[in-house]
Structure 1
């Protein structure tokens, strides 16, 4: 792009000179007064225009760097012409435009008339990076823009703390309450294949049997006789921890297995995983439940954190026929986006009870805590939290 300078005794004359030479394609960059009649000289104005490189070279104009000589030929006047770094100015304009673009609400599937204030842009981008639900992002941003006091908006830390408070209010959490001495709880883990149900059960069994200092009696039942190596995997865990394991292959056998574990405070039931679209296999779990319908069984849906929001919804929709009580998220160490977890839990109104952050038994298990999840959200990682 060429920068060309045109002079005239008035801005209009200078602009007309530019138009005569360059035509309508020229872009006016600046207009300024470069000399004054007060100083004994004539009034003189300079118009600087930008012209694309591919335009034809102009016969009667000079590049900006030599424009001062054009007016001095008649009167031998010395003019103090200031030249600017237009490249720097253009870069500043580009930065300003990008900042405006970041602040515009431009969701993929919905249209909202919302402009994000500059002080909220970083937080808005964080919601986008975490694949937070668009509708919820809009609602949170709109409420925060209205509710956050003006005095706090200029303080980045205060803005950050306010958003943490908002997130804490919308994350449903189930607090862990250890059993009393003679209480008993039966927990059934359900979910798709490969989400980590068996490993999570091993972590929980170790936690309640050895890590809480209560010496709870823990038993494990597996209904998974379909997956190759499933029973052997649990057998290895229970042998190491010296815990009883019951293998149930038919619904009617579940009653007898639970009777044999009647002295246990905690009984964990491992189920066969299946695709969320395989309704028949999900219904088979219901057949086991019906055989022990008189016993209170907590159903915990185990979900992977590294899948998109729509997949979580599909899993929940089909597994909800089992009357899900709580959620446990696994594979938090395999993702950098945590907005889908928060959005999903809030929309389903199901409380989160545990997080699994790796394969190590029993260490990589965290009792649900909103602060932990929010820190993962803010840092795009749960590693080291």
Structure 2
């Protein structure tokens, strides 16, 4: 390789001379500030490397500022040990990192209503909220309060910052704690929600949990109102046969009372309903017709929702199903998403407590009794751990 040196009053001028004489094939080795031995002025030297057979004088006028660097070992000879070396590539990379850090720390909501700069120590948490599709207005409120209220001593400790935000999330997640029934108590739970969200599988998991897993020998019965979906009754019948549980099939609203009477000795009764689009109001109203026939009974209405949809879709489902007077929420398909902020912010906005979470298809194991710590761990790790 031939090493050539070019001088200029600025790095740009020196580099331009190198390009004019050597073309685009030259490889820039270094740029440094030196003192010109002739004029004693501060100059910038750009050193480039060329292939051995490259003719620098081919079709070009040699530059008076050009000199060949002769070395015995193939390395550049340092002529001026006091010279300051400028590594432009490194400086550019540093500038890019700084720009990215600034971009990450600027609050830029879609509504453009807010102006909030995220301190560097909160950038990782802020990005965690963004990547989890957490509601932007809630993110703004949480960040603003935390920036103002978090003690200065805690801001320098990433672990303490994480713990503080976990505490905030724990406070805003509405949870319905599971309270096992006493011997002569009875609870009726009706699962409602769109098609394909996992209502039937969730009922099978709950039935197995209360009938066998708690060790209390609870009597459990199942009722299905779903005579629309092909195979719906067969699927539930297969589960109840395996678990040796009674199953009532109800096709008309007036028959529901008699079915529940036949299950009067059961501590837990789970009612499966037909799924429908949240926009199919007629089918949702049909569930209401069944409900009105047993209006005198305390039935908990649980809206079953998939975790792998965006918050706006969750809100549409809730808005139209709320005509059934929803009491609680159950989330399914947590194993099919990496974003959990939509669940937390949705539950907080609707003020409806979460009862259970389904994390897979295995009956009865893939069911989690709601607790805020589990959901927060999913949020922090971008995955639910079975």
Equivalent position to 2:274, from 257, 272, 275: 272
Task: Report the equivalent of 1:281.
Answer: 283
Shift of 1:94: 1.2
| Structure 1 equivalent of residue 41 of structure 2 | 44
- TM-score calculated relative to the size of structure 1: 0.83
Q: In the alignment, what sits opposite 1:364?
A: 366
Distance 1:63 1:221, change over 3 A: farther
Q: Tell me if structure 2 keeps the 8 A contact 1:300–1:326.
A: yes
- Is the contact made by 2:220 and 2:245 (CA closer than 8 Å) also made in structure 1? yes
**Residues of 2 paired with 1:281 and 1:64: CA distance?**
87
Q: Distance in 2 between matches of 1:152 and 1:195?
A: 42
From 171, 185, 198, the equivalent of 1:196 is 198
Query: Where in structure 2 are the equivalents of 1:1-385 lying within 5 Å?
Result: 6-7=8-9, 44-46=41-43, 62=65, 81-384=83-386
**Residue deviations 1:342-362, cap 9 Å, x none?**
010000000000000011110
Secondary structure of 1:176's match? coil
Q: Which runs of 5+ in 2 are unaligned?
A: 18-31, 47-59, 70-78
Structure-2 change in CA distance of 1:189 and 1:63 (3 Å): farther
Indicate how the Cα distance of structure 1 residues 295 and 5 shifts in structure 2: closer, same or farther if over 3 A, else same. Answer: farther
1:102-122 superposed Cα distances (whole Å, 9 cap, x missing partner): 111122333421111111111
Offset of 1:6 from its aligned partner?
3.4
CA distance in 1, matches of 2:235, 2:220: 17
Contact kept, 8 Å, 1:119 with 1:154, in 2: the verdict is yes
Contact in 2 for aligned 1:194/1:273 (Cα 8 Å)? yes
Do the aligned residues in 2 keep the contact of 1:235 with 1:245 (CA within 8 Å)? yes
Deviating 4+ runs (over 6 angstroms): 57-61, 63-66
TM-score with structure 2 setting the length: 0.83
Unaligned 5+ segments in structure 1 are: 8-13, 22-31, 50-56, 67-77
Corresponding residue number in structure 2 for 1:11: none
Deviations 1:215-256 (A, max 9, x none): 011111100011111111111111111111100000000000
Q: CA 1:59 to 1:317, structure 2 compared with 1: closer, same or farther past 3 Å?
A: farther
Contact 1:313 1:344 in 2 (8 A): yes
Per-residue deviation, 1:82: 2.9
The question of whether the paired residues in 2 share the 8 Å contact of 1:168 and 1:370 is answered with yes
1:252 aligns to what SS in structure 2?
helix
Residues 47 and 319 of structure 1: is their aligned pair in 2 closer, same or farther, counting only changes over 3 Å? same
3-state SS, counterpart of residue 177 of structure 1: coil
Work out whether residues 206 and 241 of structure 1, in 8 Å CA contact, stay in contact via their aligned partners in 2.
Answer: yes
What's the C-alpha RMSD, in Å, of the aligned pairs? Answer: 2.8
The whole-number CA distance in structure 1 between the counterparts of 2:315 and 2:357 is 18
CA contact (8 A) 1:306 1:331 kept: yes
